[in-house]
């Protein structure tokens, strides 16, 4: 009996060591991310194994975000730093380079995965400024590419949980493919002469190319000022020439120019698009990358006269197993 008792005790002890060993290893790993769509993609892979800390507060102008010095303590403990890239998070990257551990990689997702032939330059992000339009995440297939890169990086950092990250990636991929199908179907219901986007903040060129919408203009100049009176006149001509039913503004960049443009053309002004600010609050099921893409899809399809059936029913809840350890600053 005593022999069996000892064996049981030994097994119990091993289990305890095993568990605490595992949870210590997991809770030690920290991934620092920048904007909330990238944070959400990383969260979908990390699940409950890696702490993901976003740096850019939601609702802020991410292009000009300058992290406060308090962020240094977060960057110092980061095991990996993941950003969109394409010059979006210059201040975050600079502070990261000065604060991070020597062996912590900074992963620039767009720079790594988008070939130069697919770079988008336009009015708000002109080629002469040297940096392509950074709003890559509005294309869910690019989002999937980023998720795969993140899955590979997490698996290198934490090989014991390789299968968990792979499962999370697989579930994420299934949902992305469903979403891709839904977007294609929904955009297809927009009358073909209306499949044109004119937005204030220039967030949708990658989305538009993927799903067959034409970008007829963006209003915000590259320095985030307001367009000149001459540029406004040109935009009114564009709107009237293309006869678009709606022009779109975003919540983060309210602008009186859009009201004027709508008044002087036949277009409706819809100021509801989201750039990188997830809908709802952290912890809500729609506060996710899927929630963001579904939200913007609904606004665009409705505004351009398409059929929004099925968009609101799309499952935007988390695809990963376990409780998230992700922080979204507000």
Interacting residues with Zn ion (CB under 5 A): 275
DSSP, collapsed to helix, strand or coil, labels residue 149 as: helix
What is the DSSP-derived secondary structure letter of residue 49? T
Write down the number of H helices and E strands in the chain: 11, 9
Cα separation, 103 vs 101, in Å, equals: 6
Least Å from the CB of residue 275 to Zn ion: 4
Rounded to 10°, the helix 289-303/162-188 angle is 0
Least Å from the CB of residue 278 to Zn ion: 14
Task: Look up residue 215 and give its two tokens.
Answer: 């970008």
Nearer to Zn ion among residue 89 and residue 158 (C-beta)? 89
Least Å from the CB of residue 69 to Zn ion: 24
Cα-based distances in Å from 203 to 65, 120, 275, 309: 17, 11, 6, 24
> What angle (nearest 5°) sits at the alpha carbon of residue 237, between those of residues 235 and 243?
100
Nearer to Zn ion among residue 180 and residue 275 (C-beta)? 275
Nearer to Zn ion among residue 168 and residue 199 (C-beta)? 199
DSSP, collapsed to helix, strand or coil, labels residue 172 as: helix
Q: Is the dihedral of CA 143, 149, 152, 157 positive or negative?
A: negative
Nearer to Zn ion among residue 51 and residue 275 (C-beta)? 275
Nearer to Zn ion among residue 84 and residue 186 (C-beta)? 84
Residues 6+ apart with CB under 8 A from 236: 261, 264, 265
Residue of this chain nearest to Zn ion (CB atom):
275
Cα separation, 328 vs 54, in Å, equals: 5
Nearer to Zn ion among residue 89 and residue 275 (C-beta)? 275
Nearer to Zn ion among residue 60 and residue 148 (C-beta)? 60
């Amino acid at each position: 009996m005593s022999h069996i008792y000892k064996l049981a005790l030994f097994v119990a002890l091993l289990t305890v060591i095993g568990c605490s060993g595992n949870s210590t290893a997991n809770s030690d790993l920290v991934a620092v991310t920048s904007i909330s769509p990238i944070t959400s993609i990383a969260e979908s892979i990390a699940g409950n194994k890696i702490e993901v800390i976003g740096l850019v507060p939601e609702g802020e102008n991410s292009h000009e975000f300058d992290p406060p010095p308090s962020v240094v303590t977060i960057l110092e403990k980061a095991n990996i730093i993941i950003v969109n890239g394409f010059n979006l998070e210059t201040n975050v990257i600079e502070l990261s380079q000065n604060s991070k551990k020597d062996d912590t990689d900074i992963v620039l997702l767009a720079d790594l995965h988008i070939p130069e032939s697919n770079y988008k330059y336009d009015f708000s992000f002109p080629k002469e400024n040297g940096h392509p339009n950074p709003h890559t995440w509005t294309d869910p297939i690019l989002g999937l590419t980023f998720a795969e890169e993140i899955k590979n990086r997490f698996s290198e950092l934490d090989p014991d949980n390789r299968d968990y990250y792979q499962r999370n990636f697989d579930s994420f991929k299934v949902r992305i493919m469903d979403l891709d199908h839904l977007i294609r179907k929904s955009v297809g219901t927009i009358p073909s002469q209306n499949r044109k986007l004119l937005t204030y903040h220039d967030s949708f060129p990658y989305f538009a190319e993927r799903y067959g919408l034409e970008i007829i203009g963006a209003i915000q100049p590259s320095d985030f000022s307001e367009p000149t009176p001459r540029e406004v006149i040109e935009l009114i001509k564009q709107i009237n020439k293309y006869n678009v039913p709606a022009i779109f503004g975003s919540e983060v960049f309210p602008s009186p120019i859009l009201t004027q443009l709508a008044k002087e053309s036949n277009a409706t002004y819809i100021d509801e698009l989201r750039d990188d600010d997830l809908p709802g609050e952290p912890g809500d099921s729609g506060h996710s990358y899927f929630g963001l893409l579904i939200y913007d899809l609904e606004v665009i399809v409705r505004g351009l006269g398409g059929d929004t059936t099925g968009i609101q029913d799309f499952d935007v809840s988390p695809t990963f197993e376990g409780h998230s350890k992700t922080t979204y600053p507000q």
